[in-house]
Structure 1
Amino acid sequence: MAVQNSKTSIFERFNSYQPSKAILVWACAMTAVATIVVGFNLGGWVSSGSSLQAATAAGKTARGELASAICVERFKAAPDATGKLTEFKALSDSYKKRQFIEAGGWASMPGQTSIDSDIAESCSAALSV
């Protein structure tokens, strides 16, 4: 007599499996949740709030760099720029250097009447190099 093998292979069991609707719904829901978790953690997805913060910070940085470059160019275009630069580099304190830039009027941007101390600080740092 031949012995019949009652074990079915994994492929046969997979082909004959018929999940219920509840299992299908839960599988879809868990797949969606896993996609969202992986997307935000590893995929580089960001929310609108964090992208707005990043864009605002990048805008402030770019505006500051542009204003500093304008300040440095205005300083170098001033009459007796080499003498002023020597006088500027002779100052030891960063606060006095910033005041020197502010007093010279180089930290005010075109069209503005007030002097921005942040611009003066970054201009001072650029000129100190």
Structure 2
Amino acid sequence: MKLPEATKPALWGAVGGAIVAMIIGFSWGGWVTGGTAVEMRSAGAESAVVRAFTPLCVAKAEQQPEQIALLKEESSYQRDDFVIEAGWVSNVSEKYQSEVADSCAESIVEGME
């Protein structure tokens, strides 16, 4: 089978155009791979859980003012463990407890300053 003379440059142009389109799409167009999309979805879910449960944690903490004073004495690295041990995030899935506890402790300490 004999192809017309203009077929070869047209095919190379199509291949080049596809490559350029992918480079532009992934660099500036906001395209992502499936794995990146899954990571973004997980990060968004975690962020939503933290935003939803932090006020509940703070409300539980406010019911125990003596514990809040002890929380402020803890180092910033130990505050999330303190919140977990106090039971203020007991209603949160174990997967998200540390993040919610960290956010809760930060909200409490900043609110008291």
**TM-score with structure 1 setting the length:** 0.63
1:33 aligns with 2:19: yes
Percent identity of paired positions between Structure 1 and Structure 2 = 21
**TM-score with structure 2 setting the length:** 0.70
Aligned residue in 2 for 1:20: 6
Matched pairs, number: 103
1:117/1:26 Cα in 2 relative to 1: closer, same or farther (>3 Å)?
Answer: closer
Contact 2:25 2:31 (C-alpha < 8 Å) held by counterparts: yes
Runs of 4+ in 1 over 6 A off after TM superposition: none
Contact 1:88 1:97 (C-alpha < 8 Å) held by counterparts: no
1:54/1:42 Cα in 2 relative to 1: closer, same or farther (>3 Å)?
Answer: same
Letter in 1 for 2:75: D
- Decide which structure has the larger Cα Rg and report it: 1
**Unpaired stretches in structure 2, ≥5 consecutive residues:** none
What is the alpha-carbon distance in structure 2 between the residues aligned to residue 27 and residue 97 of structure 1? 58
CA RMSD of aligned residues (A): 2.8
Q: How far does residue 105 in structure 1 lie from its aligned partner after superposition? A: 2.1
Aligned residue in 2 for 1:108: 90
1:126 aligns with 2:112: no
**Unpaired stretches in structure 1, ≥5 consecutive residues:** 1-18
What is the alpha-carbon distance in structure 2 between the residues aligned to residue 48 and residue 74 of structure 1? 39
Aligned with 1:67 (options 50, 53, 56): 53
